Structure 1
Amino acid sequence: MSYIERGTIAFKKVNLALFAGGFSTFAILWGTQPLLPEISRDFQVSPATSSLVLSSTTIALAVSMLISGSLSEVFGRKPIMTLSLALSSILSILTALSPDFHLLILTRVLQGIVLAGLPAVAMAYLGEEIEPKSLGMAMGLYISGNSIGGMSGRIIAGALTDYINWHAGLIGIGVITLLSSLIFWLLLPRSTNFTPKKFVFTQLIKSLFNHLKKPALICIFIIGFLVSSIFASLYNYIGFELIKPPYNLSQTLVGFIFIVYIVGTFSSTWMGSLSDKHGKGKILYISLFILLMGSCITLNTTMWIKILGIAVFTFGFFASHSIASGWIGKVSTHDKAQASSLYLFFYYSGSSINGTTSGLVYSHFGWNGLVTLIASFSVLAIVAAVCLVSITTKKSKYATRMGLSRNSKCK
């Protein structure tokens, strides 16, 4: 196999293209998050109901991941990703024209279906094309594109909503992401280490379920489910908290709170590189602990301390997600796109299910109750990480012993 090496022009093109792709995907996906209070007021629905604008998209995305990952094993990586970005950008503009809440949910479901093409395949593309020793860094750069897209989408949508309306916010995101999709198509090199398979439905289903027989992968899937649940729980409802007294922030200022995503851009790349040097397990433990501490800091009612807590939380989240997703390529030995799509299925299922159910906790128990839920999920994620490290360490020791045994027999 011929891998793309760090420092080459091809390496820079891959990273820039996937940065643009991640930017588009997450600007579209999360751009509606700061608009939830406005949508709630416009359509006269509760905060928990308004969160369906996000949850409906992420659950459609989660299910579609399984299909997109499998289709890319047949039709190739780049075609599936390019089509996904173009269609989702067009749908973003159509979503802005929704005249009622039900149609808004329907178009967001369609958006979730077509959005699945990039995240389901991008991790597999990197795992196949990038040299193993630089994969952590490349995955971190891709995740940083996600964070910049999520941040920019929220800020653009929030500002346009404040000065015009939420419809204009979504149209603005659609236009910007169309341009990013063009950059992705022009820059991304074609796959060289990918061999397409014949479309045999039973084989695709069998290989998909084979991944669920690996304990290490199951641990990674659980971590993805939990960290995504934590992320959606905090970010879905922080806007509701900050527009209320004693803060009384405007939509524009709430949108700018998401500038702390820059912290996530840094942490995903930096912590991903550290995991290459010092081991994924150790850095994952640290990242999850930072995530837990950040959520607890937001309990403070002082504005600047609460924002500091959100920044610390964001640092830990993106680092955790980057390391866990990068671990997929190391653990899975075949059909890597399917393994990545399964991880993302659990990841987005977490944000879909708990992004809405945590709204009920917030409605009944306030911010303190929500943070208690987040802290509980964080502890469970740490337990899953301990199990993951234990399993992979035992496998590594076993493989070493078997290798020594074979060598001694050969001698």
Structure 2
Amino acid sequence: MIGVLGAESSTSPPPVTPATEGSCRVSGFPEGLDDCSAETMLQIILSTILRCEISDRPAKRAKFDCDAADLGTFETPKRLWMSRRTLRKKWSSVLGSEEQFPLLVEALETVNGLRVDFVVPSFTLAGVDFRRLFKKFFVCCVEGHLDKLVFSLRNGALVPLAELDVQMNSKPESILFVQDPIEITDNVAKNVTAKAVKTMRHAMMLSLAALKQNADSFAVMVGVLGTESSTSPPPVTPATEGSCRVSGFPEGLDDCSAETMLQIILSTILRCEISDRPAKRAKFDCDAADIGTFETPKRLWMSRRTLRKKWSSVLGSEEQFPLLVEALVSSSLQATAKNDCSLQFEAFFDVHKDSIWVGLKLIEGDVVDVANVAHFIEQILTKTRDYFNSDASGDIRQLSVEQFMDNVNYIYESNKEKIV
């Protein structure tokens, strides 16, 4: 593309620009646009949105006979811009199926002297529960038979492929079908590979798990924010399939008390069993302590609310210790819960000032399960922290796994008949 100009204002003729392989010009910015603000926007687009990395300067750099500023040399190993059109149309189709997005209507009209073939009625998304819609969108993409559905923005629905009234220009190997709203025979996702669909589903599963951490934060959903204390900046922690950080613990938190709490959560509450060490263990370039390798056949982190209320009503006011309540809930669940998973992971933790970081490295099983276990651990640690912060007589260092388990067994046997 040589000397190609974009939409320009007649009052601000552009200077002569050099020949490049790709260029664009956008005019009409409000007052205040300068080199600094323009560079900031472009750096955000290149580095944050397209995730380009700044690379070393080439030995032979381009020379321009103009005053164009050099932003730098960028490279990216992934074509992150390729799937945006497909994802936008999929999302818009889901909005249409929820009657939040109007149908695209074919109607020849003239607007300001220009011919318009399609009209989109005015609409608003004010008051829309985006959390519910995002969850439905992710669940649809993760669990749906995408090779048998068509995301149709024209119809405002997910249409079974066999019932589509037009023949799309898909390929024999196409596994995703997204209809172009204008050229309805065009499948804009015909080149999407099975690997790309698998990557999309993996990211959406992690987002579904993250939505449980903070329902009102889209930043948490896409993994931008952590749950860290601003007064206690944590060290860099390794990448794991499931992790959490809880800050604000009272004075007295050390490695010993942190490990005791985690052993209670993993062994007594989640009823995980310690398994043999894997032949190839995870290696981290940090000081995270290795608690051990755990495995569980049951999702005891689910369906706990009703039993939690029942046990809380049975216990006295001085017995409302979160770890105790949760352990009793698990004792009740253990008797009836079926084996519904096969999960094995290696657990690590690190104590930094008033915070505990927990990391779970998946060995066998579903990544969603290990992410949910990490979220469950975060909830229990948060409740335990609040308990110790509100109870002046409580000492986090007085916990003992053996004494705790004996107490749980005694209370359970004495009161299990009351839980009906």
Q: Which category of TM-score, normalised to the shorter sequence, fits these structures?
A: under 0.3
Alignment TM-score, normalising by the size of structure 1: 0.23
Structure with bigger strand share is 2
In our comparison, the structure showing a higher alpha carbon Rg is 2
Alignment TM-score, normalising by the size of structure 2: 0.23
More contact order relative to length (CA 8 Å, sep ≥ 6)? 1
